[in-house]
Amino acid sequence: MRRMTVRLTEYARGGGCACKIPPDELEDIVAGLPAAGTDGSAAELLVGPVGGDDAAVVRTGAGAFVSTTDFFTPVVDDAREWGAIAAANALSDVYAMGGEPVVALNLLAWPRGVLPFELATEVLRGGAEIAAVAGCHIGGGHSVDDAEPKYGLAVTGLVDPERMLRNDTARPGLPLSLTKPLGIGVLNTRHKRTGERFEQAVAAMTALNRDAARAAVAAGARCATDVTGFGLLGHLHKMMRASGTAAVLDPSAVPYLDGARQAVREDHVSGGTRRNLDWVRPHLDAGGAAEEDVLLLADAQTSGGLLVVGEVPGAPVIGHVFERPDPAAPTITLR
Between the alpha carbon of residue 331 and those of residues 30, 58, 158, the distances in Å are 22, 29, 32
CA distance 315 to 179: 5
Q: Tell me the Cα Rg of the chain.
A: 19
**Any residues with CB less than 8 A from the CB of 334 and at least 6 apart, and which?**
248, 249, 250, 251, 284, 285, 286, 287, 289, 293, 294, 297
Q: How far is CA 3 from the centre of its chain?
A: 27
Say if residues 185 and 66 touch (Cβ distance below 8 Å): no
CA distance 114 to 202: 26
Say if residues 180 and 85 touch (Cβ distance below 8 Å): no
- For residue 17, indicate whether it is catalytic: yes
CA distance 162 to 292: 40
Q: Find the DSSP H helices in the chain.
A: 23-30, 79-95, 117-134, 184-194, 199-206, 210-218, 231-243, 260-265, 271-280, 291-297
**Any residues with CB less than 8 A from the CB of 74 and at least 6 apart, and which?**
8, 9, 11, 12, 15, 16, 82, 149
Cβ–Cβ contacts within 10 Å for residue 203, how many?
A: 10
Say if residues 142 and 29 touch (Cβ distance below 8 Å): no
Residue 323 burial (C-beta neighbours within 10 Å; 0-12, 13-18, 19+)? exposed
- Candidates 17, 19, 136, 223; catalytic one: 17
The values of phi and psi at residue 182, to 5°, are -85, 175
Catalytic machinery residues: 17
